[in-house]
Amino acid sequence: MRFVDEYRDPHRARLLLERITAVTSRPWTIMEVCGGQTHTLVRSGIDEVLPAPIELVHGPGCPVCVTPAEVIETACRLAGEREVTVCSFGDMLRVPGAGRDLLGVRAAGGDVRVVYSPLDALAVAEQEPHRTVVFFAVGFETTAPATALSLLEARRRGVRNYLVLSAHVRVPPALEAILGAPDTRLQGLLAPGHVCTVQGLDEYRAVVERHRVPVVVTGFEPVDLLEGILACVAQLEEGRAELENRYPRSVRPEGNPAARAVLDAVFEPVSRAWRGLGVLPGGGLGLRADWRDHDAEARYTPAPPAADDGRCRAALVLTGRLRPDACPEFGTGCRPEHPLGAPMVSTEGACAAYWHAGRTRRLAAAP
């Protein structure tokens, strides 16, 4: 597969590892922001073969994980309405809300469907005009344009029974919250390459200027990540704090203007609660006022704030304060088949990454 195989090349990876080892003289703590990056790191075992002084801290970049329980409960309530069909990505179905998940609501007779794209949800609305079809939209600035596009299409085709329950979130406010915390240990960031592909570099240049830490825009394959880590460590060793784009095959400085235009036509930044980080000003994307007729939050009453399962320490994991395998519930009380919280469910969740890479005590004996 072109654009994939060359970035998984073991030979290139080993050369980069040698260079990282050569430039590293002392301990550095670096956060990879995106959950997709976490999965690659853990899956390929990069975090195990990096020189010991480099500590990777897993960031909040899993949109499913940061969706708070009350929003999931709102989706569950909607799915329980007789005339409503809730469509969402598969990951969302197993994330526990206030004591239940969408999969359970479906088993109890609710109409919940897995889609791979918001346009599929729109197609359901078109095919079943007597039902109210709600797309439960999660994701960062990467997936929000697709949701926006489905709404523009809905209006163009006159599909009035298509609503969106937006749980879309924006990355920069979360980085502000994490880097601005008085106890932060982070010295460098690997920025999420796909978000930057849409949004461009300006927001991340601002992070560098405000917090004086190196920010390296990084891709998602093993070679991408090793290049990002090398660039970040090199900056730290040389005392530099700059914005660097190590994912130029996808990221342009100005981002993707077409995607941003679509996003801006439908969404605006709003305050949004993040699981683990609390309410972040500008942390979410809400539908603009002239899209109220397609806004599920305007049509239905959202669920009141709900507490997470007290045993889940997602808040600490999502802010890089607790490694998944250091959580007392990891692999015992909390496993993918009975998760206590979202990070064990999502394909981008740090706890799931650790679990699927076998970072459990039970499997500690590798050959």
Chain residues binding other proteins by CB under 8 A are 1, 4, 8-10, 13-14, 17, 43-46, 48-49, 90, 94, 113-116, 120, 222, 335-337, 347, 355-358, 363, 365-367
DSSP state of 49: H
Q: Cβ of residue 85: shortest distance to other proteins, in angstroms?
A: 13
Nearer to other proteins, 43 or 210 (CB): 43
Q: Cβ of residue 150: shortest distance to other proteins, in angstroms?
A: 14
Q: Cβ of residue 362: shortest distance to other proteins, in angstroms?
A: 9
Q: What does the alpha-carbon distance between residue 268 and residue 84 come to, in Å, rounded to a whole number?
A: 26
Q: Residue 3: left (phi > 0), alpha (psi -120 to 50), or beta? A: left
State the maximum Cα–Cα separation within the chain, in Å, rounded to a whole number.
65
Q: Cβ of residue 301: shortest distance to other proteins, in angstroms?
A: 29
Q: What does the alpha-carbon distance between residue 217 and residue 65 come to, in Å, rounded to a whole number?
A: 22
Nearer to other proteins, 271 or 332 (CB): 332
Nearer to other proteins, 4 or 52 (CB): 4
The dihedral through the CA atoms of 63, 169, 251, 27 has a sign that is: negative
Q: Cβ of residue 49: shortest distance to other proteins, in angstroms?
A: 6
Helix 222-237 and helix 35-44: axis angle, to 10°?
A: 100
Q: Cβ of residue 273: shortest distance to other proteins, in angstroms?
A: 26
Q: What does the alpha-carbon distance between residue 334 and residue 312 come to, in Å, rounded to a whole number?
A: 8
Of the candidates 309, 301, 347, 350, the residue with the CA atom closest to the CA atom of residue 68: 309
Of the candidates 254, 132, 245, the residue with the CA atom closest to the CA atom of residue 190: 245
Nearer to other proteins, 69 or 226 (CB): 226
Nearer to other proteins, 17 or 72 (CB): 17
Q: Cβ of residue 356: shortest distance to other proteins, in angstroms?
A: 6
Nearer to other proteins, 19 or 288 (CB): 19
Nearer to other proteins, 4 or 289 (CB): 4
Residues 6+ apart with CB under 8 A from 243: 201, 204, 205, 208, 215, 216, 217
